Structure 1
């Protein structure tokens, strides 16, 4: 079973799943066609010539991962890709050899056809599996334990997984042969995913309190609607807390597992908003493409915030949060040595 990330930050996960393929987003500025002979040394030479400023380690890493995608993965192999916004991992079967798609609009020239059949909710996976899936490489082979856990927890694509959170306790892996900077990036990536795990475990009302606390950390005064009676607005924020000073910020918070916000949801939230209002829609389950389009064409400024973006806001403003908000997602700072040689 292979883990392959669908673009940076899983930006290409929807086209990959809908289009029935998986691809890699490096090499598009180096190759104009499929190499006649896929050899690791030829790929390394091409990367080296195009990027003379790259270190040999970076050249070896890029050429090695591309070689694995083109030559080592075989038809019939299982492949996994993650959707962090929906907290899902999709599982499929490779159906064909690698192909080169010239002038690919999505910048994934090297692709493999995949039949996506199952999905697993991240919250249902064991801690070690989640730790393994957090590795920063674009492509790597999963160990037997992680593969078995994914197969056991996976359901059909049309099914709705039920979340059964497991305790967040991770034992950092100790891979050898990598630079301090690479290890730092991997630790950060895994930390981000475990922070999202903590956020996802909050109940709906504490989730509203978390969002309100972040806004207070950004300098606003907030008013949170009591449970069960938000009248369409979960949080109101403004510089003075009364709405007499702009911006007046109206916030809707939906904490739904594996359920995206649709365009009608966005339109319903925007109903009644007027000039001078600013709107935030927070959805830990993400947003459909139609909902994002609806937000772009809205008459008032509307920002959509999914779980990864909420995590970023939390980290960026954590030092300014009050103690009540910090207790919702307790974090600690880690100091890391600088790799001056890298």
Structure 2
């Protein structure tokens, strides 16, 4: 049974016209001819030499796509590419040959010959097919159901009325959105985890400023467990007067750490204890029984606070955790 693949024609479909001449292609030109690598390890070593390995997961993803392009795509597999300008998909059949051929498809030297059989407007596809084609990866597999939808359109069949399978599609769209949000949340946590302890204190101060407080990091020294101080006036003369302790890369906080922090609070203070390593059950119990208002914030909470208040972040906060807004259509 043949497989099916999406191969994107460069950023924004820049090489779609070259693709239409009978090719699909990928970049990574610094690797040279991919057929020279007789093992995955040799390819990985060359990739790291050429492109570095600052993000190991990105390296692994890139190598996986390169190997799929060279080895896993076979003759008679379906190949799809997309022209975002015309909103049309190219559907073709792989001719079973990998080529290293610079100067044929822009800056993409690694080619496969493809016999294109037709173009399909995105507007004619069912929502389920559109959702499955939304990945921005250079190369990924697509399921047979999507190919059947392409072939049906090419045969002149109507494969989806505006309300066809709306209930099912809406559920899948919600699932896709939830998965995207969850992945984004984890990536933000990854970014937070790379910060230095001093940067983490600055991040907490930026979050408090985004929430409307005037916050500053305490000078280094015997701060008695207080790393950040915030209040409406910035002087601590008005309430709520927030004192924050920030623990980063220190493991889970236990009850003694919470009791020590509570000991640094005074009448009129509200406590904020941030621990990227989380809290033990006993620590949460100590916080609940505190006579001072006390909130515990773990790494998940911190990521949520960043997302909730990011629009009001100052330049310092945005520099520590750079994010971009992603818009999702409302049905």
Q: Using structure 2 for the length normalisation, give the TM-score.
A: 0.49
Which structure has more helix as a fraction of its residues? 2
Larger Rg: 2
What TM-score, normalized by structure 1, do the two folds share? 0.48
